[in-house]
Amino acid sequence: MFWKDRSQAEDSRIFLTTKDSELTFSQVFDAGGRLFQSCARGVVVLLCDRSPETVIAYSGSLRAGIVPLLLDSAVAPAALARTLRAYRPAYLFSPRGEAPEGFVPHAKLGAKAVLYVARQPSEAILHPDLAILIPTSGSTGDPKTVRITAKNVESCTNSVCDYLSMTEDRVSVSVLPLHYSYGLSVLHNVMNVRGRILMTELSVIDRGFFGLCEESGVTDFSGVPFIFDILRRVRMPVGLARSLVCVTQAGGRLDPRVTRHFLEQFAVTGTRYFTMYGQTEAAPRISYVPPEAAIEKLGSVGVPISCGRAYIDHKGEGDGELIYCGDNVAMGYAQQSGDLGRSDDFRGTLRTGDLATMDADGFITIAGRLKRFVKLHGISVNLDHVESVLNSAGIECLVVGQDNRLIVCYLGSEAAEVNTAIADNFSFHPSTVITRRVDFLPRTAAGKPDYVTALEDNGGVV
């Protein structure tokens, strides 16, 4: 596995770069080893930011055989509490040195970061193949996670590095959150080829971001649709544009017209542009569009990666559900600590929940979703879970949405009450959430929530 030691020459290469410092693979691995020294196997909740400390803690937990459960460091306290109640982890890592009740300090990392030990951890047995736990629903605090093995990660990472032609000379940048499976896969690619990654908390809209990328020699850039919408409006330094070897887009559908814009823009500098598709359950990649076929197959999410295959399950007329099979398919889900000893439920087959078509060349096009999920800035959000949490807070509502927009239609409550409930329980960016007070919540003839009507009435397209 790429998180294990390799030759002295490989591990002496620079791994993490910041504005002011550099760390080699050996330095990162040694720091992680000290952090988890004498720690028995168990689950560690990693509160992740885009810092070297998070990478040290993540790689250190994997090397020690401890299972990281990845959460946003900015997770709302109520959402964090739900996860802690469900899993009762043995450890918690905080890059800011903050921890909820029930944890005591074990080791310090840098100026602020601390690894804590739980006073009363779960005694649940962990399956020997379990390596990583990633929540299925972004920042909502839904305790449902995907159970991922080392084999899942290794097979997916090898396939991605192959089609991206990754080498040790490549330099990536931490644009995406590390608790997000796409952002985590960028880190995995770098570790796999012993390349380098620029760690920064700056975003693409921050002054100095692109200049820092240019100074650091960034060659690889990865983003979700929201980021590419911004990139259309900002000017990338000429030097950075020329140094880019590879640009990837995943995390949701990008308008084909925007895709064409970037294909044409990056063709000028010889940069290879990849549209990709995946799910956390596939650790996380399912398909990609080879750049040479991108214009001809505009709107497609491409062909399956080399470690898997895909087909369409037709149960009637029209589009069918996309089914993916491969070594990168996770073991299944967990809702609480008692699920962590479960064996492989998926058995290498993932029902994606996406309606799709496949052409004669094997290229997949996503037509819609079977499940009530949307992506907010690339992060999957379970609408049913958001609705359930708000209902429990006394907000009578229906929650609908489309990518990059979540709409809460509510009855009776005051706007301030609704906004407070959302802020207390979730970490959504304000630009993605719309609250609408309505006179009634639409229902179907069977008395069930009518989400289609609710979305149409609030400007959505079905």
Q: What are φ and ψ of residue 73, in 5° steps?
A: -65, -20
Topology (CATH level 3) of domain 373-457:
GMP Synthetase; Chain A, domain 3 (3.30.300)
% of the chain residues with pLDDT over 70 = 96
What average pLDDT does range 393-406 have in this prediction? 90
- Say which residue, 220 or 453, is predicted with more confidence: 220
Task: Say if residues 50 and 178 touch (Cβ distance below 8 Å).
Answer: yes
Greater confidence, 226 or 445?
Answer: 226
How many other C-beta atoms lie within 10 A of the C-beta of residue 9?
A: 8
Is 134 a residue whose pLDDT tops 90? yes
Average pLDDT rounded to a whole number, residues 436-447: 80
Can you give the pLDDT at residue 460?
54
DSSP state of 40: P
Per-residue pLDDT of 318-376, as tens digits, reads 578 999 999 999 999 999 999 999 999 999 999 999 989 999 999 999 987 777 888 88
Q: What is the pTM assigned to this prediction?
A: 0.86
**Whether 24 contacts 13, CB under 8 Å:** yes
With 60 as the cut, is the pLDDT of residue 446 above it?
A: no
Which residue from 56, 65, 11 is spatially nearest to 38, judged by alpha carbons?
65
Task: Give the whole-angstrom CA distance, residue 428 versus residue 187.
Answer: 24
Cis peptide before 121 (omega within 30 of 0): no
pLDDT at 367: 82
- Those residues whose C-beta lies under 8 Å from the C-beta of residue 325, and which sit 6 or more positions away, are 308, 309, 310, 348, 349, 350
Q: How confident is the model at residue 462 (pLDDT cuts 50, 70, 90)?
A: very low
Range 445-452 average pLDDT: 71
Of 9-13, 129-133, 312-316, 430-434, where does mean pLDDT reach its minimum?
A: 312-316
Could you give the count of Cα atoms lying within 13 Å of 135 in the half-sphere of its Cβ?
30
Rounded Cα gap, residues 77 and 424, in angstroms = 7
Model confidence at 461, in pLDDT bands (50, 70, 90)? very low
Rounded distance, CA 78 to CA 64, Å?
A: 29
Distances (CA, A) of 375 to 195, 256, 383, 406: 30, 18, 10, 9
pLDDT band at 377 (very low <50, low <70, confident <90, very high): confident
CB 352 within 8 A of CB 323: yes
Token digits of residue 178: 């590390």
- Provide the pairing of β-strand 405-411 with 396-402: antiparallel
* Nearest CA among 123, 184, 117 for reference residue 156: 184
Question: CA 158, CA 319: separation in Å to the nearest integer?
Answer: 31
**Residue 12 pLDDT greater than 60, yes or no:** yes
Q: Is 99 exposed, middle or buried (0-12, 13-18, 19+ CB in 10 A)?
A: buried
Could you tell me the CA-to-CA distances from 107 to 60, 165, 408 in Å, in that order? 13, 39, 42
The answer to which of 5-9, 76-80, 139-143, 282-286 has the lowest mean pLDDT is 139-143
Domain residue ranges in the chain: 8-368, 373-457
CB of 373 within 8 A of CB of 382? Answer: yes
Report whether pLDDT(139) > 60. Answer: no
Please name the residues in contact with 328: beta carbons below 8 A apart, sequence gap of 6 or more: 152, 153, 155, 156, 159, 282, 283, 285, 305, 307, 308
Is pLDDT larger for residue 444 or for residue 69? Answer: 69
Instruction: Give the residues across from 72 on adjacent strands.
Output: 48
- H or E segment at 411? strand 405-411
Percent of the chain with pLDDT over 90: 78
Model confidence at 453, pLDDT cuts 50, 70, 90, reads confident
Mean pLDDT of 76-90: 94
pLDDT at 261 over 50: yes
Q: Is the pLDDT of residue 317 over 70?
A: no
Residue 43 contacts residue 117 (beta carbons within 8 Å): no
Per-residue model confidence (pLDDT) at position 454? 84
What SS3 state is found at 433? Answer: strand
Q: In degrees rounded to 5, what are phi and psi of residue 311? A: -150, 165
> What is the phi/psi pair of residue 24, to 5°?
-85, 170
* Superfamily classification of domain 8-368: ANL, N-terminal domain (3.40.50.12780)
- The SS3 assignment for 410 reads strand
The mean pLDDT value of the chain amounts to 93
Q: How many residues does the structure list for the chain?
A: 462
pLDDT of residue 378: 83
**Residue among 137, 165, 141, 195 nearest 2 (CA):** 195
CB-CB contact of 407 with 455 (8 Å): yes
- Provide the 8-state DSSP code for 143: -
Contact in structure between 454 and 441 (CB atoms under 8 Å): yes
Query: Which of the listed ranges 161-170, 235-244, 403-412 does the model predict with the highest average pLDDT?
Result: 161-170
DSSP letter (8 states) at residue 237: P
